[in-house]
Structure 1
Amino acid sequence: APPALALLPAAALRRRKSAPDSPAPRPSNVVKVQRLNAPSSEKDIYDGFYNGQPCVVAVAKEGNRSIRREAETLRRLQSCPHINQLIAFEEGNGEQCMILQRVEPLGHDLVEVTLQQQHSGRPMPLGQMRHYLLQLARACEEMRSHGVVHRDLQAANVLIDRDHSVKVIDFGVATVACDSAPDGQVWHAVHVTNEYSAPEVNVTPGSPSIDVWGLGIVLYSLCFAINPCRAQILLSAESPSGVCGRLHDMEGTHPSAAEAIEGLLRERPEDRWGLDDVLRWAAQAEVPASIGGGA
């Protein structure tokens, strides 16, 4: 079988495709073991192996044209420890897939962590919330330095390993600034319809302020185990009946967490906290005990 196709720049891929004597590579080194996600319109996620090593395999569904762009985006963020790493990009036999880092425990994300905390009957400690936000803010700094905006930061897109280190996943709707795009291309932004997304997500899709809002969504989820609706959030600008207006009255909400959520979920980007504000707020982070007794 031909060798596996590692991720190449777009121009090199076009040259390879145009070579008449070059057969289409087959993802022969990929073994899919067990499906991990519910049916999706974009990609199927599997636990698997690549060249004999454990990995996660993300296979594009028919009609999904964004998986190569997502792989290129991840390739630019290889140096960040808080972003799930791309191992390779494979295509062949009519299939395109990303080979991704396997994070242990498998499938453990911030939603699961928050629900476990909720079932304990106690609110998540403030130091633990700061621990997660500190890492996410650093991931946002790394993305910003490469012109990348995730555009869908939420608890379900943050994996947690045994030592409570975060790994941001799912860059399917991310944008990349013109000067960072391969071959000078401009990647068109996918229209986002999530009710919790920043007000400007489709107006200025390349604005880093979108991910600052996303940090507020994550923090809100850590407090209440649910993503708030944007319409409810924006009510708080005019009325105490809005989500943020009620935070201080909700039992178990730490005043410092409420202050941070209010600072992050402001309608106008210029009124929101910046990443420096998040880093200062999270400076007193406390590392929680390892999941399952450590790696």
Structure 2
Amino acid sequence: MKSLQCFKQGGGNGGGQGKRLERRLSLGEYKKAVSWSKYLVAPPGAKIRGGGEELWSADLSKLEIRTKFATGRHSRVYSGRYGGLEVAIKMVSQPEEDAALAAELERQFASEVALLLRLRHPNIISFVAACKKPPVFCIITEYMAGGSLRKYLHQQEPHSVPIELVLKLALEIARGMSYLHSQGILHRDLKSENILLDGDMSVKVADFGISCLESQCGSGKGFTGTYRWMAPEMIKEKHHTRKVDVYSFGIVLWEILTALVPFSEMTPEQAAVAVALKV
């Protein structure tokens, strides 16, 4: 993909504001920052948007950032509005002192945008726009008011999800994943936290930061997924296929049926060892 940047209309960098936006966070700021959203604020009267072939690039003057509602290892997710749409804004920030991590986060951002651009399915999260404004990248998608499947299951009593809902959720996840595989894409991090729900309990598979084309995935060496849902061949850093998503789908089905956390009696590392040695 070509340069993933957001440009200020008319060229230039807007003086001090542009310089501030281009500075990466120090490691201390990265760990302690209350909000990364300030790096995506357009100066009064300015329109910051993509140019050339970057039709996906966000116009930040249309972006309203609201409340943070989720936090990942290297990301934060905010609710907001974009051009009248209710959206979720996933922000990823590059720490200044860790060049390898910064490069990997940039690669994941580029890959996720490239994949989202080609995906169109009722059970896959819809892409709206994206922006790279060092030190922060953002990906804007449709907002799912029901939150994650993990959040919903956490609120239920064990083994209490009605069988009709179990079947509905399972079928819709399967449809989304079947479509993804038909496009030659492996998700590689399918878990209840990455399955989103709307107010009617309809399903959308989300978060393609570590997804890849099956023809280009190679081995699992250096891969960082989520152990409780990770297939044994990925834990062992072996070559893997779409079967890794099938394994994760099975774990998610168990979650829906039980409303429990997989391998809850173990740490994530213990779960990984158990799966790798016993499966």
Answer yes or no: is the 8 Å Cα contact 1:157–1:170 preserved in 2: yes
Tell whether 2:178 aligns with 1:141.
Answer: yes
SS in 1 for 2:232: coil
Answer yes or no: is the 8 Å Cα contact 1:220–1:226 preserved in 2: no
Tell whether 2:86 aligns with 1:47.
Answer: no
> Which residue of 2 is the match for residue 56 of structure 1?
88
Tell whether 2:145 aligns with 1:104.
Answer: yes
Q: Distance in 2 between matches of 1:214 and 1:69?
A: 21
CA offset at residue 34 of structure 1?
A: 1.0
Answer yes or no: is the 8 Å Cα contact 1:110–1:156 preserved in 2: yes
Query: What amino acid maps onto 2:184 in structure 1?
Result: G
Alpha-carbon distance change, 168 to 42 in structure 1, aligned in 2, over 3 angstroms? same
> Which residue of 1 is the match for residue 154 of structure 2?
115
Query: What amino acid maps onto 1:198 in structure 2?
Result: A
State the TM-score, normalizing by the size of structure 1.
0.63
Alpha-carbon distance change, 204 to 126 in structure 1, aligned in 2, over 3 angstroms? farther
> Which residue of 1 is the match for residue 117 of structure 2?
75
Q: Deviations over 1:60-94 (max 9, x none)?
A: 211221112111111121x2111111101123364
> Which residue of 2 is the match for residue 287 of structure 1?
none
Q: Distance in 1 between matches of 2:73 and 2:92?
A: 9
CA RMSD between the two structures: 2.8
> Which residue of 1 is the match for residue 24 of structure 2?
none
Answer yes or no: is the 8 Å Cα contact 2:130–2:140 preserved in 1: yes
Answer yes or no: is the 8 Å Cα contact 1:67–1:172 preserved in 2: yes
Identity of aligned residues (%): 23
Of 132, 150, 153, the residue aligned with 1:91 is 132
Query: What amino acid maps onto 1:83 in structure 2?
Result: I
SS in 2 for 1:163: coil
Of 49, 61, 69, the residue aligned with 1:28 is 61
Q: Distance in 1 between matches of 2:73 and 2:93?
A: 7
Structure 1 unpaired stretches of 5+: 1-9, 179-185, 238-266, 268-295
> Which residue of 1 is the match for residue 38 of structure 2?
none
Alpha-carbon distance change, 96 to 124 in structure 1, aligned in 2, over 3 angstroms? same
> Which residue of 1 is the match for residue 231 of structure 2?
198
Q: Distance in 2 between matches of 1:192 and 1:32?
A: 29
> Which residue of 2 is the match for residue 270 of structure 1?
none
Of 204, 228, 248, the residue aligned with 1:167 is 204
CA offset at residue 125 of structure 1?
A: 2.5
Figure out how many residues of one structure are paired with residues of the other and give that number. 210
SS in 2 for 1:37: strand
SS in 2 for 1:36: strand
- Greater CA drift, 165-174 or 91-100: 91-100
SS in 2 for 1:28: helix
> Which residue of 2 is the match for residue 256 of structure 1?
none
> Which residue of 2 is the match for residue 129 of structure 1?
166
